[in-house]
Structure 1
Amino acid sequence: MGLKKHGITSETIKNMILGAGVIYKNLKYEKASSGWTGTPLGATSGGLKFNYEAQWLDVEVDGATVLIKGVSKQKVGESATLEGQMTELTEDILVNALHLVKSTSEDTTYVKYVSKENITEADYLENVAYVGTLSSGKNVIIILPNALCTEAFELETKNAEQTTFAVKFECTADLENDSLNKLDIAIYYPNAVV
């Protein structure tokens, strides 16, 4: 038997990612109640981008001039981000993206927000999550806990064009964890049996 010229199988049609997906905040699974619950962050345009990257230490050992399995590469950290272009501007998005606090408004028909000197624990979302849909109709869920929006806020508006602005959330470790050398990222992939 020769080697195949493609990787398509009978399962391929069920496993393709369709659409841009949704950014959720504070997504969790409640077995006793309604299953998955969370709040969509808002409408996006142009898709979403999840990035996971491990940091590696190249261990140099005298006598070895090539990489050695189990010795030469050691994982020393990791980072994960979720980003997208928001096309919806709400109070919630402004507060989460810019880490704002309410202030006294001179005009009572508006809520006034101002910048603050330092971020606090309240600026971290419990999590942000990417929820995408496979061609089978089932969801793939990627949860980044203790998320902090770190993207610069730039709003450029033009006539007859849709306005978007970037949000980028970084996953952080919780100080309560015993191990501070890995993130608590969780990826939920649908069970084939269900």
Structure 2
Amino acid sequence: MPLQTTGYTSNSPLHYLLDAGAIYKNVVYDELTGDFTGDLLGATSGGNEFSLAQETRTIEVDGLKGSGKGNTVIDSESPELVVNLKELTAANLALAIAGGVVDTSDTNYDIITTKGKIELTDYLDNIAFVGRISGSSDPIVIVIDNALSVEGLSISTKDKDEAVVPVRFRGHYGADNVELGSAPFRIYMPKVTVTP
């Protein structure tokens, strides 16, 4: 078969990631049923963005004039999910602030402040993007473990528009996944039936 000049095939329409998806916190996957449960974070606007930054290093060997196959190692991996929150609740605003707290004792207002420190209880079990793949009725789910907002809070407003608050959640290694090769994220990609 000759090489094609386009990557499009009859199976291409089955593998598109559609729309902006939804964001959940503290997602749990049930292997027996294949179902996910979690707490919906709220409405977003402008989409959401997952990234995995990898820092690599080339092992240098005397006499080798360039990079040797097999001599590149991963020194660090840092998964992040940028969520563009449009639904601003007191809990969501506090979540955007590392060490943020909500004081609910006032009868008229929830008061959001910071403790000025980050405690282990401030980390979410996880934060997850849930989206659709065009060829599956099952969702694609990207989970970042031990998630914490790492850039603080910034709110911009303008006339005839609603505020959207970007929150950058970073995954953190826990005591149960300190070894390289088990970075604090996973992508649940639904299986799609393709035609040969």
Task: Normalising by structure 1, report the TM-score.
Answer: 0.89
Q: Which residue number in structure 1 is paired with residue 131 of structure 2?
A: 132
Distance 1:83-1:104 versus aligned 2 partners, 3 A rule = closer
Q: Which residue number in structure 1 is paired with residue 108 of structure 2?
A: 109
Q: Which residue number in structure 1 is paired with residue 45 of structure 2?
A: 45
Cα distance in 1 for partners of 2:104, 2:6 equals 63
Q: Which residue number in structure 1 is paired with residue 67 of structure 2?
A: 67
Deviation at 1:134, TM superposition (A): 1.0
Correspondence list, 1:4-19, <5 A: 4-19=4-19
Correspondence list, 1:150-165, <5 A: 150-165=150-165
CA contact (8 A) 1:46 1:84 kept: no
Deviation at 1:100, TM superposition (A): 1.9
Q: Which residue number in structure 2 is paired with residue 84 of structure 1?
A: 83
For residues 76-124 of structure 1, the C-alpha deviation after alignment (integer angstroms, 9 at most, x for no partner) is 111110002111101221121113224475x422222321121111110
For residues 164-185 of structure 1, the C-alpha deviation after alignment (integer angstroms, 9 at most, x for no partner) is 1111100000024352674131
Query: Percent of aligned pairs with the same residue?
Result: 35
Distance 1:139-1:81 versus aligned 2 partners, 3 A rule = same
Cα distance in 2 for partners of 1:151, 1:118 equals 14
CA contact (8 A) 1:173 1:180 kept: no
Cα distance in 2 for partners of 1:125, 1:139 equals 22
CA contact (8 A) 1:77 1:181 kept: no
SS of aligned partner of 2:121? helix
For residues 125-178 of structure 1, the C-alpha deviation after alignment (integer angstroms, 9 at most, x for no partner) is 000111110112431111110000112311121111221111110000002435
Deviation at 1:187, TM superposition (A): 1.0
Which sits farther off after the overlay, 46-55 or 152-161?
152-161
Distance 1:103-1:87 versus aligned 2 partners, 3 A rule = closer
- AA in 1 matched with 2:118: I
Distance 1:104-1:22 versus aligned 2 partners, 3 A rule = closer
Deviation at 1:60, TM superposition (A): 1.5
Q: Which residue number in structure 2 is paired with residue 179 of structure 1?
A: 179
Runs (5+) with no aligned partner, structure 2: none
CA contact (8 A) 1:78 1:182 kept: no
Distance 1:34-1:188 versus aligned 2 partners, 3 A rule = closer
Correspondence list, 1:19-34, <5 A: 19-31=19-31
Cα distance in 1 for partners of 2:15, 2:164 equals 30
How much is the aligned-residue C-alpha RMSD, in angstroms?
Answer: 2.1
Size of the aligned set, in residue pairs, is 191
